[in-house]
Structure 1
Amino acid sequence: MFSRNYPAVFLSFAVLLSLTACANSQSAKNLEQSLAADPQLQNNPVPFGKPQSQQTTPNPNTSTIKLPADFPADIPIYPNAKLEEVTPANSENKISIRWQSADPSNIITSFYRQQFQAKNWQIVQQPQDDVDGTFSAKRNDLLINVTIKPQTVTKAEPNQPQTATKLLIEYSSNSPTTSTNPVTPSDNPEFIGPVLPKTDNTNVVTQPTLQPTTQPETLTTQEFTDIQKAPPEWRSHIQDLATLGVLSIEPKTNEFLPDKIITRREYARWLVAANNAMYANNPAKQIRLASSSTQPAFRDILTKDPDFPVIQGLAEAGLIPSALSGDATAVLFRPDAPLTREQLILWKVPLDTRQALPAANLEAVKQTWGFQDAGSIEPKALKAVLADFQNAEQSNIRRVFGYTTLFQPKKPVTRAEASSALWYFGTQGEGISATEALKLKR
């Protein structure tokens, strides 16, 4: 039996000797390398499935709500807003869609006013001011309502704006102009919320018409048809300031509405315009407008706000409380809040005296003015109130409120009252009125 296997054994032994002898040959090395494991696979093993570094994490802020498929493409959509709710057609066959934006309400209002005009919508109704209100617009039998309402964020995150704006659009789903093409998503995958519908109209401007500018506005004479509705003692003051062109009202109108409460934003705008118009020939006494590259002093007045140059300029000059003037609590300007009597005096008096306000306390104000409610005046306003008393007959309080034993510091100020305060700048015997400024202008 063994004799039969001898040839096979000898053959195997011969092959083994051949391989051993060739172990150091080039052919053997090539064979070894071809059978070796890939070093890249040894150092970087690839698990089954998609690599973790390439896996996408869903954005938690992405809205899962979609616009209706038949949403009319003609309806302008504010780009920087997040879609929050879609309410199906009600009994009146109206669909309601709600967005929220971190942008100020005046920016959104200006956007829709401009969009409706640019796209030839017939504006049936529009807000009385840029704070809040409702647009009713009509185009090709499509009637829509756009409601804009500012809101306050009570528990804002560190990087979250302190204000927000709710945007509500209502339209009829069976309108003849309703489009069957849904609005296409943004090309930017990080964008949250709706996008503007595509259009072939190259003349459509996608930004609000009101833009911040550091250039002084060219003042033109304003004509109001209702000045006679103001108290007689203020009519000439309003007329003089209107002739100077410093009483700008947005949106533009020929009604002054003297009894309307003035906002902090509006008064800041008038204050800077009136001061600079009075001292048109004296640049040293003018208030400089802030540049758009300046770091905002207030969280709710950013560089894109149309009144940023004015409000920031007042803060930069130390004429209104802010962190720049050492008031760490004044982080919000609250532009659409009513202006109060004590704020009117606090902002205006430094432009009259042109020097540091005197030291003041509650007793000093009581003894000079005799106000029964002096204790209600904010401590930081006491200095301005006392300094105003020293201006005798040119005192703002006397000119605006007449003789009174109640200052009512928290009472809102009307447009007519604000105009009377701005009619004169300076101290008694060394100042200038709007009447005198008009003579110099002519």
Structure 2
Amino acid sequence: MLPKKYATIRIGLLALLLTTLTACSGMESAFAPDPKLKNNSSTPTASSSETQPPQTQGQLPDAFPADIPRYPTAQFLAAEPGLTAAQGITRWQSNDPSNAIATFYQQQFQSGGWQIVTPFPTEGGNAENVLVARQNDLEVKISIASSSPTEFAIAYQRNNNAANSPTDNPTPTQLASDTPLEFSDLDRIAEPWRGYVQDLAALGVLISNQNQGDRFNPDAIITRREYARWLVAANNKLFANQPGKQLRLAANNSQPVFQDVPKNDPDFAAIQGLAEAGFIASTLTGDNSAMLFRPDAPLTREDLIAWKVALDRRKALPSASIDQIKQTWGFQDATKIDPKALRSLYADYQNSGQANISRVFGSTTLFQPKKNVTRAEAAAALWYFGFQGDGISARDALQIQTQQTANQNQNQ
């Protein structure tokens, strides 16, 4: 029996772990109640021999995967019921601070060739202190609680289907379609945002790898990978007749720029292509802190603007300060903006009537740089590309496309 002082910590830690499982593919059903334990939770049966009962302090089950790194000074506390070699949840404790434990696991997974699906948060506030990493068929979640001494949980699941599927020749995500899309929930979008979505859908830009049916889900949060995919597709569709402004997809033999976007990632070509062209921050642009892309993390407002303005301007951005942002945009929360994004916001202001911030967020004195972006907001940003009158909208591209089709029909 663990001391009573751990009871509250254990409940909070497991709540932190379990409430975030749905954010990670492949782990949603990993820790559902074992059907073998439903009818008789106290008396073992012959069919329950594959699982192990809760472990007491210091007795790590033999089934715990040996390839999961173990923090050197951590003491094993307990394993949740149902632990097997395929899945399980274990709890640990260390006198070291939580940031030391987080740094250890981040470095261990990176140096060990793991794909970091979700890194530990770099921002403060109420962000959940969770990391998700994947290697071959094994997915691991590290959840660190705010406690003293520090408690953390390690959850894992093996996906046999992933182990048997090819990784050298992944199926890339479709960037765009030649077939216009019609969404059934456009009535949920107010104008002018509805028109932006309709135009981009008609161009075949708004392709998603999610099972959404005929719904656009305008209020859903867009991930960094999906916005990168839309960004490349929208740019290439709008500039279909200008090869010099087309974005090139990365080749399969390219050395991955981001540690969490390997070659077998379905969006590798688009994300790597943006990095190789210098339109998003990476080690190629001299930003040694941008070793991770965090593809499945929500897109923030400041990243939405930074990536888009880079393609609007297509040259070096002007220098900018917090005072300039306050004087131009009038943002009351300018001090909360990442210094790296200040130049993008200032350049966007110089785009006057076609500024992304005005088109997407309307009139506002609060930028809320860390706020998550919705799918409708992302579409509004991608409706127009260009700077100070030298640009093209999705509506323009549709008219050009219609005229070209008419000319081809006349010539047949």
- Shorter-normalised TM range: 0.5 to 0.7
Distance 1:323 1:232, change over 3 A: same
- For 1:339, give the aligned amino acid: L
- Give the Cα separation in 2 of the matches to 1:195 and 1:429: 53
Aligned to 1:298: 258
Distance 1:380 1:254, change over 3 A: same
Which of residues 392, 396, 399 in structure 2 aligns to 1:432? Answer: 392
- The CA deviation at 1:279 is 0.3
- Give the Cα separation in 2 of the matches to 1:227 and 1:261: 16
**Residue 408 (structure 1) aligned with residue 360 (structure 2):** no
Q: Deviations over 1:214-273 (max 9, x none)?
A: 997553211211011112220010000001111111134211100001000000000000
Which of residues 214, 237, 248 in structure 1 aligns to 2:207? Answer: 248
**Residue 156 (structure 1) aligned with residue 75 (structure 2):** no
Q: Where does the alignment leave 5 or more consecutive residues of structure 2 unmatched?
A: 1-29, 41-46, 52-62, 68-85, 90-101, 117-132, 141-157, 403-412
**Residue 353 (structure 1) aligned with residue 313 (structure 2):** yes
Aligned to 1:227: 186
Aligned to 1:91: 38
Distance 1:88 1:302, change over 3 A: same
Aligned to 2:197: 238
Q: Deviations over 1:138-191 (max 9, x none)?
A: xxxxxxxx99x9xx95452523425224669xxxxxxxxxxxxxxxxxxxxxxx
The answer to whether the Cα contact below 8 Å between 1:265 and 1:307 also exists between their aligned partners in 2 is yes
- The CA deviation at 1:89 is 2.5
- For 2:184, give the aligned amino acid: T
- Give the Cα separation in 2 of the matches to 1:422 and 1:257: 17
- The CA deviation at 1:382 is 0.4
Distance 1:367 1:270, change over 3 A: same
Distance 1:222 1:214, change over 3 A: closer
Question: Structure 1 residues 362-371 or 234-243, which shifts more?
Answer: 362-371
Distance 1:398 1:244, change over 3 A: same
Aligned to 1:211: 170
Secondary structure of the corresponding residue to residue 290 of structure 1: coil
- Give the Cα separation in 2 of the matches to 1:195 and 1:370: 53
The answer to whether the Cα contact below 8 Å between 1:221 and 1:243 also exists between their aligned partners in 2 is yes
Secondary structure of the corresponding residue to residue 281 of structure 1: coil
**Residue 314 (structure 1) aligned with residue 280 (structure 2):** no
Q: CA RMSD in A?
A: 3.5
Question: Structure 1 residues 154-163 or 238-247, which shifts more?
Answer: 154-163
Aligned to 1:38: none
The correspondence of residues 17-56 of structure 1 with structure 2, limited to 5 A, is none
**Residue 392 (structure 1) aligned with residue 352 (structure 2):** yes
- For 1:392, give the aligned amino acid: S
- Give the Cα separation in 2 of the matches to 1:422 and 1:100: 45
- The CA deviation at 1:416 is 0.3
The answer to whether the Cα contact below 8 Å between 1:349 and 1:387 also exists between their aligned partners in 2 is yes
Q: Where does the alignment leave 5 or more consecutive residues of structure 1 unmatched?
A: 1-82, 103-145, 169-192, 197-204
The correspondence of residues 177-192 of structure 1 with structure 2, limited to 5 A, is none
Secondary structure of the corresponding residue to residue 36 of structure 2: coil
The answer to whether the Cα contact below 8 Å between 1:370 and 1:405 also exists between their aligned partners in 2 is yes
- Give the Cα separation in 2 of the matches to 1:330 and 1:246: 27
- Give the Cα separation in 1 of the matches to 2:194 and 2:173: 32
Distance 1:355 1:155, change over 3 A: closer
- Give the Cα separation in 2 of the matches to 1:402 and 1:209: 45
- The CA deviation at 1:366 is 1.3
- The CA deviation at 1:87 is 7.1
The answer to whether the Cα contact below 8 Å between 2:304 and 2:378 also exists between their aligned partners in 1 is yes
- Give the Cα separation in 2 of the matches to 1:331 and 1:432: 33
The answer to whether the Cα contact below 8 Å between 2:313 and 2:386 also exists between their aligned partners in 1 is yes
- Give the Cα separation in 2 of the matches to 1:162 and 1:213: 17
**TM-score, scaled to structure 1:** 0.58
Identity %: 52
Which of residues 280, 284, 302 in structure 2 aligns to 1:324? Answer: 284
Secondary structure of the corresponding residue to residue 327 of structure 2: helix
The answer to whether the Cα contact below 8 Å between 2:175 and 2:207 also exists between their aligned partners in 1 is no
Aligned to 1:283: 243
Distance 1:288 1:92, change over 3 A: farther
- Give the Cα separation in 1 of the matches to 2:320 and 2:66: 44
Secondary structure of the corresponding residue to residue 209 of structure 2: coil
Secondary structure of the corresponding residue to residue 256 of structure 2: coil
Secondary structure of the corresponding residue to residue 358 of structure 1: coil
Which of residues 341, 360, 372 in structure 2 aligns to 1:381? Answer: 341
- Give the Cα separation in 2 of the matches to 1:299 and 1:339: 18
- Give the Cα separation in 2 of the matches to 1:428 and 1:247: 26
Aligned to 2:327: 367
The answer to whether the Cα contact below 8 Å between 1:426 and 1:432 also exists between their aligned partners in 2 is yes
- Give the Cα separation in 1 of the matches to 2:195 and 2:176: 24
- For 1:347, give the aligned amino acid: W
- Give the Cα separation in 2 of the matches to 1:99 and 1:274: 46
The answer to whether the Cα contact below 8 Å between 2:262 and 2:268 also exists between their aligned partners in 1 is yes
Question: Structure 1 residues 231-240 or 270-279, which shifts more?
Answer: 231-240
Distance 1:420 1:299, change over 3 A: same
Distance 1:393 1:238, change over 3 A: same
The answer to whether the Cα contact below 8 Å between 2:175 and 2:230 also exists between their aligned partners in 1 is no
- For 2:170, give the aligned amino acid: Q
- Give the Cα separation in 2 of the matches to 1:100 and 1:319: 40
- The CA deviation at 1:354 is 2.0
- The CA deviation at 1:355 is 1.8
